[in-house]
């Protein structure tokens, strides 16, 4: 992989990360905020794979495999929390979730 190709991957990764941060900061729906956080995680994974390919080392790709495995468990727990909040409070709007008390 050449430096130009690496730059393209890193630009895409940076744009994905910026969009994820924008989603976290501007959206008020907990589900959309959660998806934006996942977009940030995938942007970091893309950068790791790009650097791994550029350096012809497999370390970054192995790390991404473990990150995706942990992210799958995180998604299950996060969605369960959002569903529990919706069932209890009838809303997933972040502004209305002021306390952790039920």
**Residue 37 located in a structural domain:** yes
CATH of the domain at 38: 1.10.287.3510
Rounded average pLDDT over 15-37? 94
The domain in which residue 47 lies consists of 3-96
pLDDT above 60: residue 102: no
Average pLDDT of the residues of the chain: 90
- Token representation of residue 2: 């050449």
**Residue 101 located in a structural domain:** no
Rounded average pLDDT over 85-101? 79
- Token representation of residue 30: 């907990």
Total structural domains in the chain? Answer: 1
**CA-to-CA dists, residue 12 to 19, 23, 61, 73, 74, angstroms:** 11, 16, 18, 26, 24
Give the model confidence (pLDDT) of 29-73 as tens digits.
989 999 999 999 999 999 999 999 999 988 888 999 999 999 999
Where does the pLDDT of residue 101 fall: very low under 50, low under 70, confident under 90, or very high at 90 and above? Answer: low
């Amino acid at each position: 992989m050449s430096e130009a190709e690496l730059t393209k991957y890193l630009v895409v990764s940076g744009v994905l990360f910026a969009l994820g941060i924008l989603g976290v900061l501007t959206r008020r729906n907990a589900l959309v905020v959660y998806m934006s956080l996942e977009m940030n995680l995938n942007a970091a994974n893309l950068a790791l794979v790009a650097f791994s390919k550029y350096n012809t080392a497999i370390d970054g790709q192995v790390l991404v495999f473990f990150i995706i495995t942990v992210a799958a468990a995180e998604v299950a727990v996060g969605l369960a929390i959002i569903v529990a909040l919706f069932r209890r409070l009838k809303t997933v709007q972040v502004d209305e979730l002021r306390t952790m008390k039920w």
